[in-house]
Structure 1
Amino acid sequence: MLCFVYAGLLAAGVVQLAHAATNNTINSQLRLAYAGDTGMYVSWNTFEKLARPTVHYGLLPNHLNMTASSNVSVTYPTSLTYNNHVKITGLKPDTLYYYLPEHLLHMNSHCPYTFITGRPAGNPAEFSVAVVVDLGTMGSQGLTTYAGKGVSENNTLSPGEINTIQSLEKFKGGYDFVWHPGDIAYADYWLKEEIQGFLPNTTIAQGFHVYESILNDFYDEFTPITAYKPYMVGPGNHEANCDNGGYTDKYHNITYDVSICIPGQTNFTGYRNHFRMPSAESGGTGNFWYSFDHGMTHFVQVDTETDLGHGFVAPDEPGGVEGEDSGPFNTTIDAQTKWLEADLASVNRTATPWVIVAGHRPWYLSNANDSGTICWTCKDVFEPLYIKYGVDLVLSGHAHVYERQNPLANGIMDPAGLNNPKAPWYITNGAAGHYDGLDNLQYPLMDYSRFGLDTLNKTYGWSKLTFHNSTHMTHEFVASKSGEVLDLATLYKARK
């Protein structure tokens, strides 16, 4: 491929390169997100605030003849970088574009990157999506071949084992985008990792350096994927919380100090700054709830952490099970569920027959006695709408296990199973991997369970959804270390 440098790009990057000498572990963290099928958000990080973040793009690698700019260059206390966001509009759907932002770090020149815009609603061509939940940084500050005190050996990697990020990169030619509904990076584990002897101790005042270092490690590791594939995210509890504060870790017998809360670590601060999701395009709110069409499928991201409404206290709001001081993010009462009902009611099931919803927390799982894992309030708020509007599949994580369940409605199994059920199909896959690894399922598994993997299996993995046509959709659990499909099931819906 022909590489080139605009003179303006090179000159503009001098200040960034000077800063790189003291921040040489941080890269540009380039990432994409759909903005409808004719738009794309391009985001990246710099050490300085940009007055005019700009992206050059075009249909040929050596002819980036179009530009898009914004004035969005944002940061927060304790962050080491600025997050720059540019929305490109007026693109052709399902089309390959070449692009290159200005002020990328650690480079004097670079070949342009590429993205493919979204498939227009109604496009009947088969496509696949990669789904990960509860995925943290890998390597020396996260999931690796060893861990600290109290972490099971089953939850570490074997020498030379391929981790989930590496697996997603290896197979990135086989899916259109990555969907990550919550718990991103696990940077809030920094103090836990120090207490357990995995990371060297630091002072509380300097703790933000460790937190931001873990966060930046994760985004850097994911860049080979997110620079080319849209990265659609949702909120999880680890985007909200001071994991080191306010509770006792019953598994490791550690009580965390509630006073140790870094500004960027609380109330989804880093998450809100780092991403831009298509909420404006779908009438949603921030990076918290939104929807988008892609080919024959309508995808919906919901927020199980805040803004449940209906008089329910959400897990990450004051008084919730996580005890955080987070949200709400919309001042209108019941804003999320009103939006969700309107969104589901407006779906054109002829153009997009498949409706898939993701939220971080499950309410069906073989771990029913754990109030910190099962979100019954989420069930009360969301499930009636999923049943009413015929949602096909509900994805979650939070529990660091994999469990595929029978379609369910109000806790009752649909007798049709996967052969044209009326009830939504539930799958929980929080087995992507992070510092202290996997959890246990409760045995015997619940009656509605059809397949499960947990810490006993010592296997990290991700989900691959394939939409074959209007009637058949397949879910696969892909083992990261081998690429082997350990579980496969196909849902059939009788549709014309």
Structure 2
Amino acid sequence: MYTFLLFYLFIIVKATIAGICLQKQKPDQIRLAIAGINSVNVGWHSYACPFIDDNPNPTPKVKYGLSPAALTSNSVNGKPSTYNTKNFFTRTSWFYGVELQDLQPRTLYYYQIVAMNNGLASDIFSFTSPPALGDRSQPVKIAAYGDMGVDGLLGTLINGVCLFERAVIALQKMLPSIDFFLHHGDIGYADTTPLLVLGKTYDQAMDEYQMGMMNIT
């Protein structure tokens, strides 16, 4: 009987872990950056399965093209990376970056992160490629920003509540009139006070910042 109960418990644990793994495997924190002439870098984040550090996507890839129905080109230079959170209860985060090369200037492209092992593909997103080098036929509007906010008790006392959220909303309002954002660094601060938002770890705070920036980057 005890053997049966242990086996039953094992099945429940395995099913729970598998369910969590599948639920969390859709790519998030998706962002774009210029990667040289006629190239764009696509970056994103995924969690590993609970209690497992193995890379869930050893061959990261993005498909892209001129139509959402014809994503015929493939990314190159896929680079996975991770770091040790030194926290047994925290799932391992993996970060990915790939390049979309040979882009036509000032052209609307569609792209999708390809499904990984035991996971899901991303939604289909779009971007407009940069102008050709030296092209002065149209102005390029750039917004520069940085030092976006402080999380925790100290930041709230000094700067007011929801400083990061207010900054994101301001940037979103600028999106229709801006071609390119130049970020100087420090998307947010989660370590300037010994008391983070109740129940939130350092990694969770940074994940929240990155998710908040997805609509902009």
Question: TM tier, shorter chain?
Answer: 0.7 to 0.9
For residue 65 of structure 1, report the CA deviation from its aligned partner.
Answer: 1.1
Question: Secondary structure of 1:86's partner?
Answer: strand
User: What is the rounded CA distance, in whole Å, between the counterparts of 2:121 and 2:113 in structure 1?
Assistant: 11
User: What is the rounded CA distance, in whole Å, between the counterparts of 2:155 and 2:169 in structure 1?
Assistant: 26
The one of 81, 95, 113 equivalent to 1:101 is 113
Over 3 Å counting, the alpha-carbon distance change for 1:86 and 1:71 in structure 2 is closer
1:199 matched to 2:197? The reply is yes
Over 3 Å counting, the alpha-carbon distance change for 1:103 and 1:47 in structure 2 is farther
The aligned runs of 1:78-477 (5 Å cut-off) are 78=85, 80-103=92-115, 111-124=123-136, 125-136=138-149, 142=151, 147-148=153-154, 151-152=157-158, 155-157=159-161, 163-189=166-192, 192-194=193-195, 199-200=197-198, 210-226=201-217
Taking only the aligned residue pairs, the percentage that are identical comes to: 25
Over 3 Å counting, the alpha-carbon distance change for 1:148 and 1:122 in structure 2 is closer
Instruction: Answer yes or no: is the 8 Å Cα contact 1:168–1:225 preserved in 2.
Output: yes
Over 3 Å counting, the alpha-carbon distance change for 1:172 and 1:16 in structure 2 is farther
1:63 matched to 2:70? The reply is yes
Counterpart amino acid of 2:198? P
Report the counterpart of residue 10 of structure 2 in structure 1: none
User: What is the rounded CA distance, in whole Å, between the counterparts of 2:168 and 2:37 in structure 1?
Assistant: 26
User: What is the rounded CA distance, in whole Å, between the counterparts of 1:67 and 1:52 in structure 2?
Assistant: 12
User: What is the rounded CA distance, in whole Å, between the counterparts of 2:75 and 2:18 in structure 1?
Assistant: 21
For residue 211 of structure 1, report the CA deviation from its aligned partner.
Answer: 1.0
User: What is the rounded CA distance, in whole Å, between the counterparts of 2:97 and 2:104 in structure 1?
Assistant: 20
**Alignment size in residue pairs:** 185
Over 3 Å counting, the alpha-carbon distance change for 1:17 and 1:184 in structure 2 is farther
The aligned runs of 1:476-491 (5 Å cut-off) are none
Report the counterpart of residue 446 of structure 1 in structure 2: none
Counterpart amino acid of 2:205? I
Counterpart amino acid of 2:160? T
Report the counterpart of residue 60 of structure 2 in structure 1: 53
User: What is the rounded CA distance, in whole Å, between the counterparts of 2:170 and 2:104 in structure 1?
Assistant: 30
Question: Secondary structure of 2:69's partner?
Answer: coil
Normalised by the size of structure 2, how large is the TM-score? Answer: 0.72
Larger radius of gyration: 1
Report the counterpart of residue 19 of structure 1 in structure 2: 21
For residue 84 of structure 1, report the CA deviation from its aligned partner.
Answer: 0.7
Instruction: Answer yes or no: is the 8 Å Cα contact 2:114–2:121 preserved in 1.
Output: no
Over 3 Å counting, the alpha-carbon distance change for 1:71 and 1:128 in structure 2 is closer
Instruction: Answer yes or no: is the 8 Å Cα contact 2:78–2:99 preserved in 1.
Output: no
For residue 69 of structure 1, report the CA deviation from its aligned partner.
Answer: 3.8
Higher helix share: 2
Instruction: Answer yes or no: is the 8 Å Cα contact 1:187–1:211 preserved in 2.
Output: yes
For residue 57 of structure 1, report the CA deviation from its aligned partner.
Answer: 0.2
C-alpha distance after superposition, 1:264-297 (max 9, x if no partner): xxxxxxxxxxxxxxxxxxxxxxxxxxxxxxxxxx
Q: Please list every run of 5 or more consecutive structure 2 residues that lacks an aligned counterpart in the other structure.
A: 1-16, 49-54, 86-90
Over 3 Å counting, the alpha-carbon distance change for 1:20 and 1:130 in structure 2 is farther
User: What is the rounded CA distance, in whole Å, between the counterparts of 1:150 and 1:219 in structure 2?
Assistant: 20
Over 3 Å counting, the alpha-carbon distance change for 1:157 and 1:188 in structure 2 is closer
Counterpart amino acid of 1:31? R
Over 3 Å counting, the alpha-carbon distance change for 1:212 and 1:20 in structure 2 is farther
Instruction: Answer yes or no: is the 8 Å Cα contact 2:61–2:78 preserved in 1.
Output: no
Identify the structure with bigger relative contact order (alpha carbons < 8 Å, sequence gap 6+): 2
Over 3 Å counting, the alpha-carbon distance change for 1:37 and 1:119 in structure 2 is farther
Q: Please list every run of 5 or more consecutive structure 1 residues that lacks an aligned counterpart in the other structure.
A: 1-14, 202-208, 227-496
Report the counterpart of residue 487 of structure 1 in structure 2: none
